[in-house]
Amino acid sequence: MKKTIAKIALVGSALLISTSLTSAQTTVTGNIDIGLKAVSSDGSKATSTRSMTKESQINLQTKGSLPGGMSYAAGMSLEYDGQDVGAIGTHTENNYIDIISGKTTISLSADHMPNGNYTITNIVGGVADIDDVAQGIAAQTPVMLAAHGANASFGVGIIQDFGVAKASYFYAPSGTNSPVANDGSGLTGALSGALNSFHEVTVRGNFGVKGLDAGLAVNSIDSDETTGGVNNDIQNYLLALKYTLPNGLAAAVEQSESETKAGVNTKTRALGIGYAVSKDVTIGYQIAKTDLSTVNTPTEKIQGINIGYNLGPVAITGVFVKADDVGATTTAGRSGKAAHVGASVKF
């Protein structure tokens, strides 16, 4: 009798697992991007360079039904940037478990929630924005704001779909992308810097206007409690607006601002225009100016011309950039030009 009961229990478990697997839908997607970048720094051959660029990514996603009319979705991405080995090259992205009820989503995730980490003025699209292409001119990194918070941190959030727009709130107990072990071991008590908790509120949609894309993101990281000196909360915001006409002409503006715990303010204002020449070819222009609150620092100015060509499964993009006072420092000679041409395949 005991053996019979054990067999029935085993069969029941197998049927339950089989049913769960049948109701779930699992997909594997990915992309491969390979390109060429050239940098010419004014008056400096030593910081004028040429190099290849690449990114490859695999995405695993699953979704299915839950009791009570709810559903779930979960997934992760494994990305290889540049070098294929070590901390520089390998990243996990878009880790998430979503519980969905109607138009409300509860998300346990990192790099998944709606966030302010986007630039709406790049109308052509592609993997490289103008600040990415300008990086390396005079061996400098642009201060143009393109990442507006710690969206890669692990946390919990809620998304509400109102039809004309989506609103979200995200909380991360630590402003880093390194969680502790799944049993809670390895917990750190440090409160310094970006290890403090992170909060972000976003809203984005067309608000019932065809062709409109408007967004607002506001976030903060709680102040550092362990070090001396000025320890303000780190504040960021992004306000973005784009409108696309039926004839394929589009224009976009955005303003973003960030303040460090020491009170240094960075403000970026950007403009972009684009035109779909045909269903396969789009051209665009971008300009971004960034100022620091530090006394006597110049305005960083980056301009770019973009072109995109859609070959179906393969997309080709090109960006040419002219940049002045990269890094917005008082050091002279930090200007130059850069170009990036790349091919992208999604599967």
Q: So what's the pLDDT on residue 345?
A: 96
Q: So what's the pLDDT on residue 4?
A: 46
Q: Where are the domains positioned within the chain?
A: 36-62+70-346
Q: Which of 99-103, 106-110, 332-336 has the lowest mean pLDDT?
A: 332-336
- Percent of the chain scored above 90 by pLDDT? 58
Give alpha helix (H) positions in the chain.
2-23, 86-89, 130-134
The two tokens of residue 234 are 């780190």
CA separation (Å) from 273 to 90, 120, 187, 340?
34, 10, 47, 19
Q: So what's the pLDDT on residue 279?
A: 93
Residue with the bigger pLDDT between 269 and 17: it is 269
- Residue whose structure tokens are 């206007």: 209
Q: So what's the pLDDT on residue 196?
A: 74
Angle at 312 between CA 309 and CA 313, to 5 degrees: 110
Report whether 300 contacts 142 (CB < 8 A). yes
Q: So what's the pLDDT on residue 137?
A: 92
Report whether 294 contacts 264 (CB < 8 A). yes
Q: So what's the pLDDT on residue 258?
A: 86
Q: Using 50, 70 and 90 to split pLDDT, how confident is the model at 2?
A: very low
Nearest to 202 by CA among 268, 261, 252, 256: 256
- Count of residues making up the chain: 347
Q: So what's the pLDDT on residue 118?
A: 84
The Cα 295–Cα 71 span in angstroms is: 54
Nearest to 324 by CA among 292, 290, 295: 290
- Residue whose structure tokens are 């589009």: 250
The model's pLDDT over 160-178, given as tens digits with 9 standing for 90+, comes to 999 999 999 999 887 655 5
The two tokens of residue 238 are 């992004």
Report whether 134 contacts 315 (CB < 8 A). no
Residue with the bigger pLDDT between 79 and 216: it is 216
Q: So what's the pLDDT on residue 84?
A: 54
The two tokens of residue 174 are 């630590």
**pLDDT averaged over every residue in the chain:** 84
Q: Which of 132-136, 232-236, 245-249 has the lowest mean pLDDT?
A: 232-236
Q: Which of 92-96, 129-133, 140-144, 147-151 has the lowest mean pLDDT?
A: 147-151
Q: Using 50, 70 and 90 to split pLDDT, how confident is the model at 194?
A: low
Render the burial of 129-161: b for 16+ CB within 10 Å, e for the rest: bbbbbbbbbbebebbbbbbbbbbbbbbebebee
Q: So what's the pLDDT on residue 64?
A: 96
Spell out the residues 6+ positions from residue 179 whose beta carbon is closer than 8 angstroms to its own: 110, 154
Nearest to 174 by CA among 149, 194, 160: 194
pTM: 0.84
Average pLDDT over residues 286-315: 93
Average pLDDT over residues 266-277: 96
The model's pLDDT over 19-61, given as tens digits with 9 standing for 90+, comes to 444 467 999 999 999 999 999 999 888 889 999 999 899 999 9
36-62+70-346: CATH number: 2.40.160.10
The model's pLDDT over 51-73, given as tens digits with 9 standing for 90+, comes to 999 989 999 999 999 999 999 99
Q: Using 50, 70 and 90 to split pLDDT, how confident is the model at 190?
A: very low
The Cα 61–Cα 269 span in angstroms is: 36
The Cα 90–Cα 103 span in angstroms is: 34
